[in-house]
Structure 1
Amino acid sequence: MALSIEIRHGYVYLIEARTGKMSVGIQKTHYFEYPDDWVSESGIVNVEGFASLLMQHLKEQNMRDKKAYFCINNNAVIYRELNIPKVEEKKVHLLVKTEMMSALNLTPDYIMDYIYLNDVEIEGNVQSRVLGVAMQIKAIESLLEVAKLCKLDVQGIDSATNSIIKMMEENPLLENTNQLIVADIGNGHLRLYLFENGIYALSRNNKIISYKEVTPEEVTNSIVDNINKMIQFSYTRKSGSDSKKIVITGIDEELEAVQKFVSENLLVDCEVLGKPHYVTDHKFENRYTNAVGALLRK
């Protein structure tokens, strides 16, 4: 058994599940809201308050497992796509760190990691295409302090982008669509991911109107407008074509309206992310997509 904890803007999503290398047997799910100012780009600001609230909800839901996987889905994570020379695996991390610090002017108080994407040929030379990921050390330390206060044993810390990549790698839609756009709908934020010929290409983080501020129709319009911008951008890519599909996930209550609007007005195939074949024992809810992805082990 393991616990997956996704920290979004203003919300925490929890899953307790039995896990295998590529299987997630969901036992319990739950989510709760926390004050926006408790978490910033520097991590969890109110560590004691956040830990106390998390412990309260874990206790109320009788989620007792202590092995915890965290998924960070907010502005604390910085991404950068890099093309680097083919080198020994043990040298890749140092190369990524150097490139990230140079490209983004990051200071040594950042921890950097990477996700291998694929090999590319540039001017006759084969290079590795990777997604560099960076977080401030104090952001990770604040997360570990929360885990300590909650008596959780941290097994891993993942990013939302890597969770989505792992989820989609197992989705047959990648094999049948030249360009696939995944829209992850949150409250006040929308993440858009573009996959080309089955490979992750790029992502965009968009701030949208919050459900607390306007009508559901206005929120839907804001979401669809941003999806349309990604569609138009995809046509400018080298692989841009009419073979496109939109897959939406996130807040379940919003998905049907967005799916209908995109299909009828943007004239692009659009569907709600279905229950993955490796998820068992529980009704699948799209709001827990990233938390499920964080539990997948390659």
Structure 2
Amino acid sequence: MSRYSVSAAIVAALLSGTASVRAADLIEPVYEAPAPLPVSTSGWYLRGDVGYVFKGKASGEWDFWNQFPGVEGIDDTYDYDTFNLDSTASFGGGIGYRFTDQLRTDATVDFLRTNVEGETPCPFMVQTDPNGLALPFDAACDLKASTKASVWTAMANAYVDIGQFGRINPYIGAGIGAAHVKYEDVTEDQVCGAPYSCPYTGVHEGQSSWRFASSLMAGATVDITGQLKLDAGYRYTRIEGGDAYGYDAADTSFGATGVQGRDDGLNLHSVRAGLRYEFGATSYGDAHSGGLSSYR
């Protein structure tokens, strides 16, 4: 082979290698996307809440004790015309567990203290003036009672989180448990319209009792971070009836014992807001790209 033939072969080989390199450059490298990080949907959480309990109307009844010698005892049972609970604040907290994206449960304890006022017409037997004479029916005699009640509730609750809409997750829930209702001493005044005088005032010892309680809830959770949530919603709580107060000193001096007044149950309507911290939640940015992720 001549010198020129060898040179031509070397040049051809170099050109062929260059073309192969350029062709390889046209094929882009393929990278596998990293597997998504697992999203935590379960775990323990703590919660704390404050609420506003709306003014409500309940019902109640009381027994009239006849003091007349020889016939001492309960003559009749009367209903309260009004039995009102003032609006007040409530405070609560609890611990819970999230099982899935949709299902969670918690145990909560809540407290409230409210003014209670009741009013009922005087029975005919107590419509007497200071001289012991019966008052006419137009005397407009009423018995007005006032006290304070403290209510503790211990509830086991379950919630269904409906779905995530951005940072907002609506929910519904229900709970059952127990309530401890304690009345302070009840002051009862006999009030008559002018010109009649009704000087009676009695003090009745307040009673306390444990009762069955149930509740329904609806609201929404707003993600502040992956773990920290703002929880706001409405709650209705039904507390079964129980003892309210005993007899005053005048009735007990004539042999009265036990409970004189009872409530027929309390219906509490409230709005609440609080914070919930979920230990098992995934922090923002871990589950989805772009910085906005599910709260779980």
| Same-fold call, TM cutoff 0.5 | no
The TM tier, using the shorter chain, reads under 0.3
* Higher RCO (CA < 8 A, seq sep 6+): 1
- Structure in which a larger fraction of residues adopt helix: 1
- Structure in which a larger fraction of residues adopt strand: 2
TM-score scaled by structure 2?
A: 0.22
